[in-house]
Amino acid sequence: MGKMTEDAIRVLFDYGKKVHQGEISLREAAEKVHDECPEVAVSSARHYVKWYGEMRAGEILTWNSNSELLLYYAERIIRENGAEAGKAACQSVLKFAAHANRMELADEVYKLAEKYHLNLDKNMKDRNKVSKENSNLLTPSAALQHIQSYIAQKGFSYEEGLITNFYLCLKAKPFVILAGTSGTGKTRLVRLFAEAAGATAANGRYRQAAVRPDWSDPSDLFGHVDLNGNFVPGAVTDFLEKAAEDLDHPYFLCLDEMNLARVEYYLSDYLSAVETRELKGGCIAADPIRVEGHGDLILPENLYVVGTVNMDETTFPFSRKVLDRANAIEFSFVDLMPPEEDGETETAEPLELDNGFFRSEWLTLRQCMGGEEEESVRKWCGVLCQCNEILKKADAQVGYRVRDEIVFYLLYSRKTGLMEEKEAMDREILQKILPRIQGSSGAVRDMIGELFQFCAGDYEGLRTDSGEINRKMARLLEEDGSRVRFPRSAAKLASMMRRYEEDGFTSYWQ
Protein backbone atom coordinates (compact mmCIF):
# COMPACT_ATOMS: atom_id res chain seq x y z
CA MET A 1 0.00 0.00 0.00
CA GLY A 2 1.03 3.65 -0.13
CA LYS A 3 2.62 5.73 2.65
CA MET A 4 0.64 5.52 5.90
CA THR A 5 0.84 8.19 8.61
CA GLU A 6 2.16 7.39 12.08
CA ASP A 7 -1.18 8.41 13.59
CA ALA A 8 -3.06 5.97 11.36
CA ILE A 9 -0.70 3.13 12.28
CA ARG A 10 -1.12 3.91 15.99
CA VAL A 11 -4.93 4.01 15.69
CA LEU A 12 -4.98 0.68 13.83
CA PHE A 13 -2.81 -0.96 16.47
CA ASP A 14 -4.93 0.35 19.36
CA TYR A 15 -8.16 -0.94 17.83
CA GLY A 16 -6.50 -4.25 16.96
CA LYS A 17 -5.61 -4.62 20.63
CA LYS A 18 -9.20 -3.85 21.68
CA VAL A 19 -10.61 -6.43 19.25
CA HIS A 20 -8.12 -9.03 20.52
CA GLN A 21 -9.22 -8.34 24.10
CA GLY A 22 -12.91 -8.59 23.19
CA GLU A 23 -13.73 -4.96 23.96
CA ILE A 24 -15.13 -4.22 20.49
CA SER A 25 -16.13 -6.14 17.35
CA LEU A 26 -13.98 -6.16 14.23
CA ARG A 27 -16.71 -4.43 12.21
CA GLU A 28 -17.08 -1.64 14.77
CA ALA A 29 -13.32 -1.22 15.02
CA ALA A 30 -12.92 -0.89 11.25
CA GLU A 31 -15.65 1.76 11.09
CA LYS A 32 -14.11 3.73 13.96
CA VAL A 33 -10.69 3.60 12.30
CA HIS A 34 -12.21 5.03 9.12
CA ASP A 35 -13.94 7.79 11.13
CA GLU A 36 -10.66 8.80 12.76
CA CYS A 37 -8.48 8.21 9.68
CA PRO A 38 -10.61 8.74 6.53
CA GLU A 39 -7.67 7.82 4.29
CA VAL A 40 -7.98 4.20 5.50
CA ALA A 41 -10.95 2.47 3.84
CA VAL A 42 -13.19 0.32 6.05
CA SER A 43 -12.37 -2.81 4.03
CA SER A 44 -8.64 -2.18 4.48
CA ALA A 45 -9.01 -1.35 8.17
CA ARG A 46 -10.57 -4.76 8.80
CA HIS A 47 -7.39 -6.45 7.59
CA TYR A 48 -4.99 -4.16 9.43
CA VAL A 49 -6.91 -4.44 12.70
CA LYS A 50 -6.91 -8.25 12.43
CA TRP A 51 -3.12 -8.24 12.14
CA TYR A 52 -2.74 -7.66 15.87
CA GLY A 53 -4.40 -10.97 16.78
CA GLU A 54 -2.68 -12.84 13.95
CA MET A 55 0.74 -11.59 15.02
CA ARG A 56 0.09 -12.47 18.66
CA ALA A 57 -0.68 -16.00 17.47
CA GLY A 58 2.39 -16.17 15.21
CA GLU A 59 0.24 -16.74 12.11
CA ILE A 60 1.33 -15.90 8.56
CA LEU A 61 -0.02 -12.65 7.17
CA THR A 62 -1.24 -13.06 3.60
CA TRP A 63 -2.83 -9.66 2.91
CA ASN A 64 -0.90 -6.53 2.01
CA SER A 65 2.71 -5.81 2.94
CA ASN A 66 3.07 -2.45 4.68
CA SER A 67 6.51 -2.82 6.25
CA GLU A 68 6.25 0.22 8.54
CA LEU A 69 2.98 -0.99 10.02
CA LEU A 70 4.29 -4.53 10.56
CA LEU A 71 7.45 -3.35 12.31
CA TYR A 72 5.47 -0.92 14.47
CA TYR A 73 3.09 -3.72 15.53
CA ALA A 74 5.97 -6.06 16.31
CA GLU A 75 7.89 -3.54 18.42
CA ARG A 76 4.85 -2.45 20.45
CA ILE A 77 3.89 -6.07 21.10
CA ILE A 78 7.42 -6.70 22.39
CA ARG A 79 7.28 -3.66 24.67
CA GLU A 80 3.78 -4.26 26.01
CA ASN A 81 3.57 -8.06 26.13
CA GLY A 82 7.09 -9.34 26.66
CA ALA A 83 9.56 -11.63 24.93
CA GLU A 84 7.31 -14.60 24.15
CA ALA A 85 4.57 -12.51 22.55
CA GLY A 86 7.21 -10.45 20.76
CA LYS A 87 8.90 -13.57 19.43
CA ALA A 88 5.58 -14.83 18.01
CA ALA A 89 4.94 -11.45 16.38
CA CYS A 90 8.40 -11.35 14.80
CA GLN A 91 8.05 -14.88 13.48
CA SER A 92 4.67 -13.96 12.01
CA VAL A 93 6.31 -11.12 10.07
CA LEU A 94 9.18 -13.40 9.01
CA LYS A 95 6.71 -15.94 7.62
CA PHE A 96 5.14 -13.19 5.56
CA ALA A 97 8.54 -11.92 4.40
CA ALA A 98 9.51 -15.41 3.23
CA HIS A 99 6.15 -15.91 1.51
CA ALA A 100 6.38 -12.56 -0.30
CA ASN A 101 10.16 -12.52 -0.92
CA ARG A 102 10.44 -9.30 1.12
CA MET A 103 13.99 -9.77 2.37
CA GLU A 104 14.51 -6.14 3.38
CA LEU A 105 11.60 -6.56 5.78
CA ALA A 106 13.12 -9.78 7.15
CA ASP A 107 16.42 -8.00 7.81
CA GLU A 108 14.61 -5.28 9.77
CA VAL A 109 12.86 -7.93 11.89
CA TYR A 110 16.19 -9.53 12.79
CA LYS A 111 17.54 -6.11 13.81
CA LEU A 112 14.47 -5.60 15.98
CA ALA A 113 14.92 -9.02 17.60
CA GLU A 114 18.57 -8.22 18.28
CA LYS A 115 17.63 -4.91 19.88
CA TYR A 116 15.31 -6.66 22.37
CA HIS A 117 17.47 -9.80 22.77
CA LEU A 118 14.94 -12.20 21.25
CA ASN A 119 16.12 -15.63 20.13
CA LEU A 120 14.29 -16.29 16.89
CA ASP A 121 13.88 -19.77 15.44
CA LYS A 122 17.00 -20.57 13.43
CA ASN A 123 14.97 -22.63 10.96
CA MET A 124 12.94 -19.53 10.17
CA LYS A 125 16.13 -17.59 9.50
CA ASP A 126 17.47 -20.32 7.22
CA ARG A 127 14.18 -20.42 5.35
CA ASN A 128 14.45 -16.72 4.67
CA LYS A 129 18.01 -17.13 3.40
CA VAL A 130 16.81 -19.70 0.89
CA SER A 131 13.99 -17.40 -0.23
CA LYS A 132 16.45 -14.58 -0.72
CA GLU A 133 18.68 -16.76 -2.91
CA ASN A 134 15.68 -17.88 -4.97
CA SER A 135 14.41 -14.34 -5.42
CA ASN A 136 17.75 -13.35 -6.94
CA LEU A 137 17.10 -15.86 -9.73
CA LEU A 138 13.78 -14.28 -10.65
CA THR A 139 14.86 -12.46 -13.77
CA PRO A 140 11.94 -11.61 -16.06
CA SER A 141 12.84 -14.62 -18.21
CA ALA A 142 12.93 -17.00 -15.24
CA ALA A 143 9.72 -15.61 -13.75
CA LEU A 144 7.83 -15.92 -17.04
CA GLN A 145 9.11 -19.46 -17.56
CA HIS A 146 7.79 -20.32 -14.12
CA ILE A 147 4.44 -18.74 -14.96
CA GLN A 148 4.35 -20.72 -18.21
CA SER A 149 4.99 -23.94 -16.26
CA TYR A 150 2.30 -23.07 -13.73
CA ILE A 151 -0.27 -22.49 -16.48
CA ALA A 152 0.75 -25.70 -18.29
CA GLN A 153 0.32 -27.83 -15.16
CA LYS A 154 -3.23 -26.48 -14.93
CA GLY A 155 -3.89 -28.13 -18.30
CA PHE A 156 -3.76 -25.11 -20.61
CA SER A 157 -1.52 -24.79 -23.65
CA TYR A 158 -0.89 -21.49 -25.39
CA GLU A 159 1.11 -20.49 -28.44
CA GLU A 160 4.83 -20.15 -27.88
CA GLY A 161 5.75 -16.63 -26.89
CA LEU A 162 2.22 -15.63 -25.87
CA ILE A 163 2.99 -15.32 -22.14
CA THR A 164 6.05 -13.19 -22.88
CA ASN A 165 4.06 -11.02 -25.29
CA PHE A 166 1.27 -10.59 -22.74
CA TYR A 167 3.76 -9.50 -20.08
CA LEU A 168 5.46 -6.97 -22.36
CA CYS A 169 2.06 -5.53 -23.31
CA LEU A 170 1.16 -5.05 -19.64
CA LYS A 171 4.55 -3.46 -19.02
CA ALA A 172 4.14 -1.02 -21.92
CA LYS A 173 0.56 -0.05 -20.96
CA PRO A 174 -1.67 -1.48 -18.20
CA PHE A 175 -4.57 -2.02 -20.62
CA VAL A 176 -4.64 -5.07 -22.92
CA ILE A 177 -7.32 -6.62 -25.14
CA LEU A 178 -7.43 -10.38 -25.77
CA ALA A 179 -9.45 -11.26 -28.86
CA GLY A 180 -10.23 -14.50 -30.63
CA THR A 181 -12.54 -17.44 -31.13
CA SER A 182 -14.83 -18.31 -28.24
CA GLY A 183 -13.42 -21.07 -26.06
CA THR A 184 -9.72 -20.49 -26.78
CA GLY A 185 -8.86 -19.71 -23.15
CA LYS A 186 -8.68 -15.91 -23.12
CA THR A 187 -10.34 -15.42 -19.75
CA ARG A 188 -8.54 -18.41 -18.30
CA LEU A 189 -5.19 -16.95 -19.37
CA VAL A 190 -5.83 -13.76 -17.42
CA ARG A 191 -6.88 -15.68 -14.31
CA LEU A 192 -3.99 -18.17 -14.40
CA PHE A 193 -1.40 -15.52 -15.24
CA ALA A 194 -2.55 -13.42 -12.29
CA GLU A 195 -2.69 -16.48 -10.05
CA ALA A 196 0.84 -17.50 -11.01
CA ALA A 197 2.02 -13.99 -10.07
CA GLY A 198 0.35 -14.22 -6.65
CA ALA A 199 -2.91 -12.37 -7.41
CA THR A 200 -6.04 -14.41 -6.77
CA ALA A 201 -9.70 -13.81 -6.10
CA ALA A 202 -9.13 -15.25 -2.62
CA ASN A 203 -6.58 -12.60 -1.62
CA GLY A 204 -8.58 -9.89 -3.39
CA ARG A 205 -5.96 -9.03 -6.00
CA TYR A 206 -7.86 -10.50 -8.98
CA ARG A 207 -11.34 -9.47 -10.05
CA GLN A 208 -13.34 -10.83 -12.99
CA ALA A 209 -16.21 -8.56 -13.97
CA ALA A 210 -18.72 -9.92 -16.48
CA VAL A 211 -19.75 -7.05 -18.75
CA ARG A 212 -23.53 -6.74 -19.25
CA PRO A 213 -25.13 -5.62 -22.52
CA ASP A 214 -27.05 -2.84 -20.72
CA TRP A 215 -23.94 -1.07 -19.45
CA SER A 216 -24.16 2.39 -20.96
CA ASP A 217 -22.02 4.68 -18.80
CA PRO A 218 -19.22 4.53 -16.20
CA SER A 219 -21.65 4.26 -13.28
CA ASP A 220 -22.02 0.53 -13.95
CA LEU A 221 -18.33 0.08 -13.17
CA PHE A 222 -17.65 2.76 -10.59
CA GLY A 223 -21.01 3.32 -8.86
CA HIS A 224 -23.96 5.72 -8.79
CA VAL A 225 -26.51 7.39 -6.53
CA ASP A 226 -29.94 5.72 -6.48
CA LEU A 227 -33.35 7.42 -6.29
CA ASN A 228 -33.16 7.44 -2.49
CA GLY A 229 -29.89 9.33 -2.54
CA ASN A 230 -27.83 6.31 -1.47
CA PHE A 231 -24.57 5.43 -3.16
CA VAL A 232 -24.61 2.06 -4.94
CA PRO A 233 -21.08 0.72 -5.56
CA GLY A 234 -20.19 -0.37 -9.07
CA ALA A 235 -18.63 -3.64 -10.18
CA VAL A 236 -15.08 -2.52 -9.36
CA THR A 237 -15.41 0.31 -6.81
CA ASP A 238 -14.05 -1.67 -3.86
CA PHE A 239 -11.42 -3.33 -6.04
CA LEU A 240 -9.87 0.02 -7.02
CA GLU A 241 -9.96 1.19 -3.41
CA LYS A 242 -8.14 -1.90 -2.22
CA ALA A 243 -5.55 -1.65 -5.00
CA ALA A 244 -4.86 1.96 -4.03
CA GLU A 245 -4.20 0.80 -0.44
CA ASP A 246 -1.78 -1.93 -1.56
CA LEU A 247 0.60 -0.40 -4.09
CA ASP A 248 3.25 -3.05 -3.48
CA HIS A 249 1.24 -5.73 -5.29
CA PRO A 250 -0.22 -5.92 -8.82
CA TYR A 251 -4.02 -6.05 -9.12
CA PHE A 252 -5.59 -7.60 -12.22
CA LEU A 253 -9.06 -6.64 -13.45
CA CYS A 254 -10.51 -8.89 -16.16
CA LEU A 255 -13.44 -7.39 -18.08
CA ASP A 256 -14.97 -10.55 -19.50
CA GLU A 257 -16.76 -10.19 -22.85
CA MET A 258 -15.96 -6.49 -22.67
CA ASN A 259 -17.58 -5.61 -26.00
CA LEU A 260 -21.05 -6.92 -25.14
CA ALA A 261 -21.65 -3.22 -24.41
CA ARG A 262 -20.02 -0.21 -26.04
CA VAL A 263 -16.58 0.08 -24.45
CA GLU A 264 -16.37 3.78 -25.36
CA TYR A 265 -19.38 4.46 -23.13
CA TYR A 266 -18.98 2.46 -19.92
CA LEU A 267 -15.15 2.62 -19.86
CA SER A 268 -14.82 6.26 -20.92
CA ASP A 269 -13.67 7.55 -17.52
CA TYR A 270 -10.91 4.96 -17.33
CA LEU A 271 -9.82 5.55 -20.94
CA SER A 272 -9.44 9.25 -20.18
CA ALA A 273 -7.74 8.83 -16.81
CA VAL A 274 -5.16 6.29 -18.00
CA GLU A 275 -3.86 8.87 -20.48
CA THR A 276 -3.08 11.34 -17.69
CA ARG A 277 -0.47 9.12 -16.04
CA GLU A 278 2.75 10.89 -15.07
CA LEU A 279 5.66 10.39 -12.71
CA LYS A 280 5.32 12.25 -9.41
CA GLY A 281 7.81 11.68 -6.64
CA GLY A 282 8.83 8.31 -8.02
CA CYS A 283 5.23 7.09 -8.31
CA ILE A 284 2.89 6.93 -11.30
CA ALA A 285 -0.09 9.20 -10.69
CA ALA A 286 -3.19 9.75 -12.82
CA ASP A 287 -6.18 12.05 -12.61
CA PRO A 288 -8.83 10.55 -10.31
CA ILE A 289 -12.11 9.18 -11.58
CA ARG A 290 -14.90 11.37 -10.22
CA VAL A 291 -17.85 9.36 -8.91
CA GLU A 292 -21.03 11.17 -7.86
CA GLY A 293 -21.99 10.49 -4.27
CA HIS A 294 -18.72 8.79 -3.45
CA GLY A 295 -15.87 11.14 -4.19
CA ASP A 296 -12.78 10.54 -6.26
CA LEU A 297 -11.57 7.05 -7.14
CA ILE A 298 -7.80 6.83 -7.49
CA LEU A 299 -6.46 5.04 -10.57
CA PRO A 300 -3.50 3.30 -8.89
CA GLU A 301 -0.26 2.42 -10.66
CA ASN A 302 -0.69 -1.27 -9.74
CA LEU A 303 -4.00 -1.75 -11.60
CA TYR A 304 -3.83 -3.83 -14.81
CA VAL A 305 -6.98 -4.01 -16.92
CA VAL A 306 -7.42 -6.86 -19.41
CA GLY A 307 -10.50 -7.19 -21.60
CA THR A 308 -11.53 -10.38 -23.37
CA VAL A 309 -13.57 -10.06 -26.56
CA ASN A 310 -15.34 -12.14 -29.16
CA MET A 311 -16.26 -10.63 -32.50
CA ASP A 312 -19.68 -11.87 -33.59
CA GLU A 313 -23.22 -10.64 -34.17
CA THR A 314 -23.82 -10.15 -30.42
CA THR A 315 -20.94 -7.72 -29.82
CA PHE A 316 -19.89 -4.18 -30.71
CA PRO A 317 -16.80 -3.25 -32.75
CA PHE A 318 -14.04 -1.11 -31.27
CA SER A 319 -13.45 2.51 -32.15
CA ARG A 320 -9.94 3.80 -32.77
CA LYS A 321 -10.17 5.60 -29.43
CA VAL A 322 -10.08 2.22 -27.69
CA LEU A 323 -7.62 0.52 -30.05
CA ASP A 324 -5.12 3.37 -29.72
CA ARG A 325 -4.96 2.77 -25.97
CA ALA A 326 -4.41 -0.98 -25.93
CA ASN A 327 -2.43 -3.82 -27.38
CA ALA A 328 -4.88 -6.19 -29.07
CA ILE A 329 -3.61 -9.77 -28.83
CA GLU A 330 -5.43 -12.16 -31.15
CA PHE A 331 -5.89 -15.79 -30.13
CA SER A 332 -5.67 -17.88 -33.29
CA PHE A 333 -3.68 -20.87 -32.01
CA VAL A 334 -5.76 -23.94 -31.19
CA ASP A 335 -4.25 -27.41 -30.70
CA LEU A 336 -7.07 -29.86 -30.02
CA MET A 337 -4.68 -32.71 -29.24
CA PRO A 338 -4.05 -33.13 -25.50
CA PRO A 339 -0.41 -32.72 -24.45
CA GLU A 340 1.65 -35.88 -24.06
CA GLU A 341 2.75 -36.82 -20.56
CA ASP A 342 6.54 -36.82 -20.28
CA GLY A 343 6.93 -38.64 -16.99
CA GLU A 344 7.65 -36.83 -13.75
CA THR A 345 7.16 -33.09 -13.74
CA GLU A 346 7.99 -30.59 -11.03
CA THR A 347 5.11 -28.76 -9.42
CA ALA A 348 5.25 -25.02 -10.11
CA GLU A 349 3.92 -23.05 -7.15
CA PRO A 350 2.56 -19.51 -7.53
CA LEU A 351 5.11 -16.72 -7.25
CA GLU A 352 4.68 -13.58 -5.17
CA LEU A 353 5.71 -10.90 -7.65
CA ASP A 354 5.59 -7.31 -6.53
CA ASN A 355 4.33 -4.46 -8.65
CA GLY A 356 7.84 -3.51 -9.73
CA PHE A 357 7.83 -6.53 -12.03
CA PHE A 358 4.95 -5.04 -14.07
CA ARG A 359 5.25 -1.31 -13.45
CA SER A 360 5.97 0.95 -16.45
CA GLU A 361 9.34 2.73 -16.45
CA TRP A 362 8.64 5.13 -19.32
CA LEU A 363 5.50 7.21 -19.78
CA THR A 364 6.66 9.69 -22.43
CA LEU A 365 9.03 9.40 -25.37
CA ARG A 366 11.08 12.28 -23.99
CA GLN A 367 12.16 10.03 -21.11
CA CYS A 368 13.79 7.68 -23.64
CA MET A 369 15.81 10.38 -25.39
CA GLY A 370 19.22 11.75 -24.53
CA GLY A 371 20.59 8.41 -23.33
CA GLU A 372 21.77 5.12 -24.72
CA GLU A 373 18.24 4.32 -25.94
CA GLU A 374 17.98 7.33 -28.26
CA GLU A 375 19.64 5.74 -31.30
CA SER A 376 17.34 2.71 -31.18
CA VAL A 377 14.28 4.88 -30.56
CA ARG A 378 15.03 6.95 -33.66
CA LYS A 379 15.56 3.83 -35.75
CA TRP A 380 12.23 2.34 -34.65
CA CYS A 381 10.42 5.62 -35.23
CA GLY A 382 11.86 5.62 -38.76
CA VAL A 383 10.26 2.23 -39.41
CA LEU A 384 6.94 3.51 -38.06
CA CYS A 385 7.16 6.61 -40.27
CA GLN A 386 7.47 4.38 -43.36
CA CYS A 387 4.47 2.37 -42.21
CA ASN A 388 2.47 5.52 -41.48
CA GLU A 389 3.01 6.88 -45.00
CA ILE A 390 1.23 3.78 -46.33
CA LEU A 391 -1.57 4.07 -43.76
CA LYS A 392 -2.24 7.69 -44.75
CA LYS A 393 -3.46 6.57 -48.18
CA ALA A 394 -6.60 5.18 -46.53
CA ASP A 395 -6.77 7.70 -43.65
CA ALA A 396 -5.67 5.03 -41.17
CA GLN A 397 -2.48 6.67 -39.91
CA VAL A 398 -1.48 6.42 -36.25
CA GLY A 399 -0.58 9.22 -33.85
CA TYR A 400 1.92 9.89 -31.11
CA ARG A 401 0.22 7.66 -28.54
CA VAL A 402 0.58 4.55 -30.70
CA ARG A 403 4.16 5.47 -31.59
CA ASP A 404 5.14 5.88 -27.94
CA GLU A 405 3.58 2.61 -26.79
CA ILE A 406 5.24 0.65 -29.58
CA VAL A 407 8.60 2.15 -28.62
CA PHE A 408 8.04 1.29 -24.94
CA TYR A 409 7.24 -2.32 -25.85
CA LEU A 410 10.44 -2.56 -27.90
CA LEU A 411 12.51 -0.99 -25.13
CA TYR A 412 11.21 -3.40 -22.49
CA SER A 413 11.76 -6.31 -24.87
CA ARG A 414 15.39 -5.32 -25.39
CA LYS A 415 16.08 -4.44 -21.76
CA THR A 416 14.80 -7.80 -20.48
CA GLY A 417 16.19 -9.82 -23.38
CA LEU A 418 12.82 -11.54 -23.76
CA MET A 419 12.38 -11.06 -27.50
CA GLU A 420 14.41 -10.29 -30.60
CA GLU A 421 13.95 -6.78 -31.97
CA LYS A 422 12.49 -7.98 -35.27
CA GLU A 423 9.91 -10.19 -33.56
CA ALA A 424 8.96 -7.41 -31.14
CA MET A 425 8.35 -4.95 -34.00
CA ASP A 426 6.38 -7.61 -35.87
CA ARG A 427 4.09 -8.20 -32.90
CA GLU A 428 3.52 -4.50 -32.36
CA ILE A 429 2.58 -3.88 -35.99
CA LEU A 430 0.15 -6.78 -35.63
CA GLN A 431 -1.28 -5.60 -32.31
CA LYS A 432 -1.21 -1.80 -32.53
CA ILE A 433 -1.51 -0.91 -36.23
CA LEU A 434 -3.39 -3.61 -38.14
CA PRO A 435 -6.46 -3.67 -35.82
CA ARG A 436 -7.31 -0.15 -37.09
CA ILE A 437 -7.80 -1.36 -40.67
CA GLN A 438 -11.28 -2.04 -42.04
CA GLY A 439 -13.35 -1.06 -45.06
CA SER A 440 -14.49 -1.91 -48.56
CA SER A 441 -12.89 0.83 -50.65
CA GLY A 442 -10.20 0.44 -53.23
CA ALA A 443 -7.94 2.57 -51.04
CA VAL A 444 -8.15 -0.03 -48.28
CA ARG A 445 -7.33 -2.78 -50.76
CA ASP A 446 -4.30 -0.91 -52.09
CA MET A 447 -3.14 -0.08 -48.57
CA ILE A 448 -3.24 -3.75 -47.52
CA GLY A 449 -1.19 -4.65 -50.59
CA GLU A 450 1.45 -2.01 -49.83
CA LEU A 451 1.57 -2.95 -46.16
CA PHE A 452 2.14 -6.55 -47.18
CA GLN A 453 5.08 -5.47 -49.32
CA PHE A 454 6.39 -3.45 -46.39
CA CYS A 455 6.13 -6.44 -44.03
CA ALA A 456 7.26 -9.12 -46.48
CA GLY A 457 9.95 -7.12 -48.22
CA ASP A 458 9.88 -5.62 -51.71
CA TYR A 459 7.96 -8.17 -53.77
CA GLU A 460 7.90 -7.33 -57.47
CA GLY A 461 5.24 -9.92 -58.30
CA LEU A 462 2.57 -8.27 -56.17
CA ARG A 463 0.38 -5.74 -57.98
CA THR A 464 -2.92 -4.55 -56.56
CA ASP A 465 -4.36 -4.03 -60.04
CA SER A 466 -4.33 -7.78 -60.70
CA GLY A 467 -6.74 -10.44 -59.46
CA GLU A 468 -6.40 -12.93 -56.60
CA ILE A 469 -3.73 -10.98 -54.79
CA ASN A 470 -4.23 -13.06 -51.65
CA ARG A 471 -3.08 -16.19 -53.51
CA LYS A 472 0.17 -14.48 -54.48
CA MET A 473 0.63 -13.37 -50.88
CA ALA A 474 0.03 -16.89 -49.57
CA ARG A 475 2.44 -18.34 -52.15
CA LEU A 476 5.20 -15.95 -51.11
CA LEU A 477 4.75 -16.78 -47.43
CA GLU A 478 4.81 -20.50 -48.19
CA GLU A 479 7.74 -20.54 -50.61
CA ASP A 480 9.94 -17.80 -49.19
CA GLY A 481 8.68 -17.37 -45.63
CA SER A 482 12.15 -17.42 -44.04
CA ARG A 483 13.03 -14.16 -45.80
CA VAL A 484 9.86 -12.32 -44.79
CA ARG A 485 10.63 -9.27 -42.69
CA PHE A 486 7.62 -9.36 -40.36
CA PRO A 487 5.99 -12.80 -40.84
CA ARG A 488 3.10 -12.53 -38.36
CA SER A 489 1.92 -9.21 -39.75
CA ALA A 490 2.38 -10.36 -43.35
CA ALA A 491 0.29 -13.49 -42.70
CA LYS A 492 -2.49 -11.42 -41.15
CA LEU A 493 -2.49 -9.01 -44.10
CA ALA A 494 -2.77 -11.95 -46.50
CA SER A 495 -5.79 -13.18 -44.55
CA MET A 496 -7.36 -9.70 -44.63
CA MET A 497 -6.81 -9.48 -48.40
CA ARG A 498 -8.45 -12.88 -48.89
CA ARG A 499 -11.51 -11.69 -47.00
CA TYR A 500 -11.61 -8.49 -49.05
CA GLU A 501 -11.52 -10.40 -52.34
CA GLU A 502 -14.16 -12.89 -51.21
CA ASP A 503 -16.59 -10.54 -49.41
CA GLY A 504 -15.80 -7.06 -50.72
CA PHE A 505 -15.07 -5.95 -47.17
CA THR A 506 -12.32 -6.66 -44.68
CA SER A 507 -11.21 -5.93 -41.14
CA TYR A 508 -8.64 -7.17 -38.68
CA TRP A 509 -11.31 -8.92 -36.63
CA GLN A 510 -12.36 -12.30 -37.99
Alpha-carbon torsion (6, 7, 9, 14), positive or negative: positive
- The CA distances from residue 160 to 181, 335, 349, 429, 477, in Å, are 18, 12, 21, 18, 20
Q: Which of 317-326, 340-349, 460-469, 479-488 has the highest mean pLDDT?
A: 317-326
Residue 291: pLDDT band with limits 50, 70, 90: very high
162-172 vs 400-416: helix crossing angle, rounded to 10: 120
At residue 321, the pLDDT reads: 92
Mean pLDDT to the nearest integer, 338-348 = 54
Q: Which range among 38-52, 75-89, 417-431 shows the weakest confidence by mean pLDDT?
A: 38-52
Q: Which range among 118-132, 244-258, 408-422 shows the weakest confidence by mean pLDDT?
A: 118-132
**Strand 224-225 and strand 231-232: pairing?**
antiparallel
At residue 198, the pLDDT reads: 93
At residue 461, the pLDDT reads: 56
- Look at residue 322 and tell me whether its pLDDT is greater than 70: yes
| C-alpha to C-alpha distance for 508 and 322, rounded to whole angstroms | 15
At residue 75, the pLDDT reads: 95
At residue 342, the pLDDT reads: 44
pLDDT tens sequence across 133-169: 343 346 788 788 889 889 988 888 888 889 999 999 9
Residue 282: pLDDT band with limits 50, 70, 90: confident
pLDDT tens sequence across 421-450: 999 999 999 999 999 999 999 999 999 999
Mean pLDDT of the chain: 88
* Domains, the chain, ordered by start: 6-136 (no CATH), 140-355 (3.40.50.300), 361-507 (no CATH)
At residue 137, the pLDDT reads: 45
- The candidate with the shortest Cα–Cα distance to 68, out of 125, 20, 10, 116, is 10
Mean pLDDT to the nearest integer, 262-281 = 94
- The candidate with the shortest Cα–Cα distance to 72, out of 17, 28, 24, is 17
Mean pLDDT to the nearest integer, 249-268 = 96
Residue 129: pLDDT band with limits 50, 70, 90: very low
For the chain, percent of residues with pLDDT exceeding 90: 63
Please, what is the end-to-end C-alpha distance for the chain in angstroms? 42
At residue 430, the pLDDT reads: 97
For the chain, percent of residues with pLDDT exceeding 70: 89
Mean pLDDT to the nearest integer, 70-96 = 91
| C-alpha to C-alpha distance for 93 and 106, rounded to whole angstroms | 8
Q: Which of 6-10, 48-52, 61-65, 123-127 has the highest mean pLDDT?
A: 6-10
- Look at residue 507 and tell me whether its pLDDT is greater than 60: yes
pLDDT tens sequence across 476-489: 888 887 889 999 99
- The CA distances from residue 94 to 28, 80, 249, in Å, are 29, 20, 18
Mean pLDDT to the nearest integer, 414-422 = 92
Mean pLDDT to the nearest integer, 488-492 = 95
At residue 341, the pLDDT reads: 54
Mean pLDDT to the nearest integer, 302-318 = 92
- Look at residue 494 and tell me whether its pLDDT is greater than 90: yes
pLDDT tens sequence across 354-398: 999 999 999 999 998 888 889 999 999 999 999 999 999 999 999
Mean pLDDT to the nearest integer, 108-117 = 91
Assess contact for 472 and 423: CB atoms under 8 A. Answer: no
At residue 131, the pLDDT reads: 43
Backbone φ/ψ region at 349: left (φ over 0), alpha (ψ -120 to 50), beta: beta
At residue 16, the pLDDT reads: 94
